Amino acid sequence: MATRSNLAVILHADVVGSTALVHKDERVAHERIQNSFRRLSETINTYGGVTHEVRGDALVAVFGRASDGVSATLAFQVANTEQNAVLTDDIRVEIRVGIALGEVVVADNTVTGPGVVLAQRIEQLAGPGGLCISAAIHEAVPRRLPVEIKSLGDQSVKGFDEPVRVYSVSLRAGEKIPEPVNDIYSDDSEAKSSTPMLALPDKPSIAVLPFNNLSGDPEQEYFADGMTEDIITGLSRFRSLFVTARNSSFAYKGRSLDVREVARDLGVRYVLEGSVRRGGERIRITGQLIDAETGHHLWAERYDRKLEDIFAVQDEVTEAIVAAIAPEIDDVERERSQHKPPESLEAWDIYQQGLAAYHSSTEEGFGSAIEQFDSVNEIDPTFAPAYAMAAGARTRYVLHFEPDDRAEYLNEAREKAYKAITLDPRDPMCLMYDGRVHSMLDHHDVAISKVKEAIALNPNDALSHFNLGIVLCSAGCAEEAIPHIDHAMRLSPRDIFLTGMLTHRAFLLFDLERYEEAFEWVQRARLSPNPRSMTFALLTAVLTKLGRQEEARAAVKDLSAHAPGMSCVKYRENPFGRPEVMERFVDALREAGLPE
């Protein structure tokens, strides 16, 4: 069964009073309901949506853009009203619709997830032939659409702890529904366009559109513009991204354009757009990242803050958005490379495949990652990040699996890191992994200096903050390391390295002999996706220190299953922490039954 999870615009439609219609004439009612859903599905398809499921008197569909979902609904409702008007009986199918933005899980032709539930709950607030939308959809709908939008306020809906802001949408009197927007990347549209399409850069590219000021207060314009400029600056610090300059992005200020048209004009793959709304002493900031190639929403978030210090709010939200966007783009790029046929792979795609293997954190994955990054080094000897990752893959392999030829791997890592720094001495990733190598070689002062320099170049990079915590731990500065791990998790709470962050946070507490706290953190790590071998080892050691021997013996079995061949002597030599801490760690593992 093919299964995937993604963020989408979800449409949920339901027949009003279907039971009453069936009681009037079962055959006619069923026939008209089916015909209505068929016409609705055709309209959804015309506007670029996909109908995933029809269940009795309900239908679920997904769209890449909010404007398409709203336009399709209103187009259908107008046509359905005309259809009902010519009927001579009272068996008239009226459909109400709810649209929300949320995460969905698609398995074959079935779509589930919290976003579907939210769309269904919002749909139940619509009247016959009506449409209701969530706040996120309201923020995303272009103001060029000829619609009337009325706030229904915050609604308490079943299954959601917090009230949900809901809006009703109707077609403005005398207006027509916009025609479906053709894909600008199709051959026809390119032929019709007088503006040539810019070639995409050889790395992920993004444009940040000026955030809309929805406050009706001209004084807030500077805040929205400042937010946009700061996000552009923050993203520009990620050397792995191509970020369109501020002047190019601000050329679109105040204009209502399709984001895919903007992407085509600027030659970028991703577009970030957002809005700012002030109400009293609070401000709401929304942002959404769109893949212009597909039109799909990749990420969306809303930030509600008090305006006690407006500039502090701007800094906080900017940091959160920047820290979230870069990893999200990285995830999409890795997934894109996995679907390319081998014969079309280039250095960038092989690099992305190496990252996917690296992030698996398995022994096999590290071996594959090392091969992939070394291959990129041969294909493009000027690409500094591939050398940095070749060094990083070797250090993590040594750290988690303690190979017999440990010294050889570390020597190779040192050579790769030196090459990366030589090629690009101002790339935070190169500096960060150079610091990791120095830490593994017990050059702690140099390691700390290198990683701090990486953070100075890009303060929004969660991975650099995480690695500063790691090198401080190895240097015997556990108390000082904890805030850096915490800051990394705050910057990127859904990071692909979250399990590692949680494991290191627990180890710092083990170092400080705060075993009860360590147990809470290592449990979170164990229940996170893809736990490391060190996660199981640390759980074993903590349980032993807490006197929970039976549970510790069970945990050591999980460790042996996850990392066969691990032993006390290998952990004693592991540079995860100071030698005296690792000795205490090994004593606990031995007591739990790990072979010497």
How high is the pLDDT of residue 214?
A: 82
What residues contact residue 380 under an 8 Å CB cut-off, 6+ apart?
A: 347, 386
DSSP of 225-290, one letter per residue? HHHHHHHHHHHHT-TT-EE--HHHHHTTTT----HHHHHHHHT-SEEEEEEEEEETTEEEEEEEEE
pTM summary value: 0.60
Tokens of 531: 């736990």
Q: How far is the C-alpha of 86 from the C-alpha of 457, rounded, in Å?
A: 68
Helix (H) or strand (E) holding 185: none
Q: Looking at residue 377, what DSSP letter applies?
A: H
First to last CA, the chain: 44
- The identity of residue 87, as a single letter, is L
**Model pLDDT, residue 187:** 38
Domains of the chain: 3-171 (3.30.70.1230), 200-338 (3.40.50.10610), 344-458 (1.25.40.10), 470-596 (1.25.40.10)
Helix (H) or strand (E) holding 2: none
What are the CB-based long-range contacts (under 8 Å, 24+) for 463-470? 463/429, 463/432, 463/488, 463/492, 463/495, 463/497, 464/428, 464/432, 465/491, 466/497, 466/500, 466/501, 466/504, 467/432, 467/435, 467/436, 469/504, 469/505, 469/508, 470/436, 470/439, 470/504
The Cα 543–Cα 107 span in angstroms is 39
Rounded to whole angstroms, the Cα distance separating 415 from 413 reads 5
Question: Angle at Cα 496 formed by Cα 492 and Cα 498, nearest 5°?
Answer: 65
SS3 169: strand
Which residues 6+ apart lie within 8 Å of 258 measured at CB? 67, 142, 181, 184
Per-residue pLDDT 10s for the chain (596 aa) are 344 456 788 999 999 988 889 888 888 888 888 889 889 988 998 888 888 777 767 899 888 888 889 999 999 999 999 989 988 888 999 999 999 988 777 655 567 788 888 999 999 999 999 999 998 888 778 777 889 999 998 898 888 888 889 999 999 888 888 777 544 333 333 333 333 445 677 678 888 988 888 876 766 777 888 888 888 888 888 877 888 877 778 777 777 667 777 888 788 888 998 888 887 788 888 888 888 877 778 888 888 888 777 778 888 888 888 888 877 777 777 676 665 555 545 787 888 888 888 888 788 889 999 999 999 999 889 989 899 999 999 998 988 887 888 889 999 999 999 999 999 888 889 999 999 999 999 999 999 999 999 999 888 788 899 999 999 999 999 999 999 999 888 877 777 788 889 999 999 999 999 999 999 999 998 888 778 888 999 999 999 999 999 999 988 888 888 778 788 888 887 888 889 999 999 999 999 998 88
Looking at residue 20, its amino acid is: A
Determine phi and psi for 254, rounding to 5 degrees. Answer: 80, 5
* The residue to which tokens 């691990």 are assigned: 566
What residues contact residue 13 under an 8 Å CB cut-off, 6+ apart?
37, 40, 58, 59, 60, 61, 73, 95, 96, 97, 98, 123
Q: What does the radius of gyration of the chain's CA atoms come to, in whole angstroms?
A: 27
Evaluate whether 160 touches 167 at the Cβ level (below 8 Å). Answer: no
Q: What is the pLDDT of residue 188?
A: 37
Contact call for residues 490 and 322 (beta carbons, < 8 A): no
- Tokens, residue 139: 């923020």
